[in-house]
Amino acid sequence: MSLIGHIKELRNRILFALLFIGIGTAVCFWWYEHGLGEFIRAPYCNLDEAFVGPNGDCGLLITDVFGGALIRLKISFIAGVVVSAPFWLYQVWAFVTPGLKKNEKRYGVGFVVVSSSLFALGATLAYISLSAGLELLLNLAGDDVIVALTAQDYLGFVISILLAFGISFEVPLLAVALNLVGVLSHELLSKSRRWIYFLTIVAAAFITPTQDPFTMLLLALPMCVLFEVAIQIARVVDKRRAKRDGLAAFADLDDDAASPLDARPSSLDDRPSALDTRPTGLDEPTT
């Protein structure tokens, strides 16, 4: 294709991707009153009555006229991007695929599937830990404080912790990708295993917005397991790469060429020869 053809193709792909995101946003905007809003507020509503009121009143405050509409649009847009991800990701993939080789397409599909799964796993763990983190942070305010969360602050908190967990779970995959391109070796990763685990725990303490030990360990422990899986994958990849490089060293030799073996005679020793078939353990005849 010509340069103009590539630009037109890119424009069409972007328009289709935006169309799918718009459709997903519209569906989620309708879904907000049928379960999506309750799903977002569930970690807050599951708190003790001291925080949400005796009647389970877990409503969020809105301090301006357009606050409710903006919050609903923001939640609907984020959920629409997630719901329509298979459709707009296909548009990205369809634009990139013609320039990739067969093995590159295979690696690309695997990378997208694994990265999406890791992000979803991290976001799920974050959602599970939201109630515990909120309760710990709100308890620090004391007993004489009335809790009244605004919708903007609560939504920002939820989004920040979901992104923190989801993006953090992508880091071990980055280590595998660097190993596949030859930047990181298994030997280096194996020697740095203790430092990797230590820095992972320290990073989890800084990344988690709640700053409580439960949420920190919920992020750090799965990341350590994922890093160990990445190290083992790097070990297998390096072993296969070494075997492939060893075979490639003889690729330019002719089939009738002599093998590069050391033909010098070895020194004799007192060990019995392999051709010696005399029975052992018998006494020698005396003279």
The full set of domain ranges for the chain reads 1-99, 104-240
φ and ψ of 56, to 5 deg: 70, 25
- 125 vs 149, residue with greater confidence: 125
% residues pLDDT > 70 (the chain)? 79
Is there a contact between 234 and 184 (Cβ–Cβ < 8 Å)?
yes
Cα gap 109→230, rounded to integer Å: 18
User: In this predicted model, what pLDDT tens digit does every residue of 212-254 receive, in sequence order?
Assistant: 677 778 888 888 898 999 899 988 988 888 887 766 665 566 6
On whether the CB atoms of residues 13 and 91 are closer than 8 A, the answer is yes
Residue 33 binned pLDDT confidence (cut-offs 50, 70, 90): confident
In the numeric block, the tokens 């490639």 are attached to 248
- pLDDT band of residue 150 (cuts 50, 70, 90) is confident
Amino acid at site 171: V
**What is the model's pTM?**
0.70
**pLDDT on residue 26:** 92
Give the three-state DSSP class for 150. strand
